[in-house]
A and B are shown apart, each in its own frame.
Chain A
Amino acid sequence: KQEVTQIPAALSVPEGENLVLNCSFTDSAIYNLQWFRQDPGKGLTSLLLIQSSQREQTSGRLNASLDKSSGRSTLYIAASQPGDSATYLCAVSHNTNAGKSTFGDGTTLTVKP
């Protein structure tokens, strides 16, 4: 059974700092990995999707990497802003069942002005 862990559970940083969020998974036979953002009272917004054959994806100040062999992914946020404050979740899609994803519990990020 796939298990997805995100550490730390919460993170507080001053504005402008670069930061890294971590996601680890137990079964390396994945189809893809997604990073999502969730604001309070809202649904999840997809930030980046990395296919199993890829090593990283970039969008603006965000960069996500994937190392399947070690079961790890990182989300790098450059020059953090107060508007980046949210909960970030990673989700791993199963290799044998592309529609089924397992989510981590998320990292709650607070960026202080």
Chain B
Amino acid sequence: DARVTQTPRHKVTEMGQEVTMRCQPILGHNTVFWYRQTMMQGLELLAYFRNRAPLDDSGMPKDRFSAEMPDATLATLKIQPSEPRDSAVYFCASGLVAWGFQASNQPQHFGDGTRLSIL
């Protein structure tokens, strides 16, 4: 079965360090999502891409977070500088989204996440 792959699975680093999380979406999916999950806030959408173009990043703190998709097989989420409040599990998901009103969406497929701890 095709899977969304995220690396690293775990990351512990000190405040102020740069953190880069990577995601390999499922081949053929046209939409890639980045989510953050915490006990307090639940699952939040940070940003997503349609055909590699950023469509909405309103959920991200712009001053320290950046998301890119340099090619169809790689999406990255970067935090610089990192802060303790960024500690969370970050999920990447991909899907085949039909962007027309009458068309059907396909389910999103999630990776296993990157568990990030900022000390």
Establish whether residues B33 and A103, one from each chain, have CB atoms under 8 Å apart when the complex forms. Answer: no
Q: Which residue of B lies closest to A45 (CB)?
A: B110
Establish whether residues B43 and A89, one from each chain, have CB atoms under 8 Å apart when the complex forms. Answer: yes
Tell me whether B25 is interfacial, beta carbon within 8 Å.
Answer: no
Which B residues touch A32, using CB under 8 A? Answer: 104-105
Q: How far is the CA of A36 from the CA of B31 in the complex (A)?
A: 18
Tell me whether A98 is interfacial, beta carbon within 8 Å.
Answer: yes
- Contact with A99, one of B42, B56, B104 (Cβ below 8 angstroms): B56
Which A residues touch B109, using CB under 8 A? Answer: 46
Establish whether residues B105 and A100, one from each chain, have CB atoms under 8 Å apart when the complex forms. Answer: no
- Cβ proximity bits A28-47 to B, threshold 8 Å, 1 near / 0 not: 00011010100001111110
Tell me whether B55 is interfacial, beta carbon within 8 Å.
Answer: yes
Q: How far is the CA of A103 from the CA of B42 in the complex (A)?
A: 8
Establish whether residues B110 and A99, one from each chain, have CB atoms under 8 Å apart when the complex forms. Answer: no
What's the interface size class on B, roughly?
20 to 34
Q: Which listed segment binds A: B14-22, B62-70, B71-79, B91-99?
A: B91-99
Q: How far is the CA of A89 from the CA of B48 in the complex (A)?
A: 20
- Contact with A42, one of B43, B45, B112 (Cβ below 8 angstroms): B112
Which A residues touch B91, using CB under 8 A? Answer: 43-44
Q: How far is the CB of A91 from chain B (nearest CB, A)?
A: 8
Which B residues touch A102, using CB under 8 A? Answer: 45
- Given the known interface contacts A98-B98, A98-B99, A99-B33, the answer about A46 and B112 at a Cβ–Cβ threshold of 8 Å is no
Establish whether residues B105 and A93, one from each chain, have CB atoms under 8 Å apart when the complex forms. Answer: yes
Establish whether residues B107 and A99, one from each chain, have CB atoms under 8 Å apart when the complex forms. Answer: no
**Interface pairs (10), CB distance under 8 Å:** A32-B105, A42-B112, A44-B43, A44-B93, A44-B108, A51-B105, A99-B48, A100-B48, A103-B42, A103-B43
A: which residues have CB within 8 A of B?
31-32, 34, 36, 41-46, 49, 51, 89, 93, 97-106
Q: Which 7 A-B pairs have the closest CB atoms?
A: A43-B110, A46-B107, A103-B43, A44-B110, A105-B42, A43-B112, A49-B107
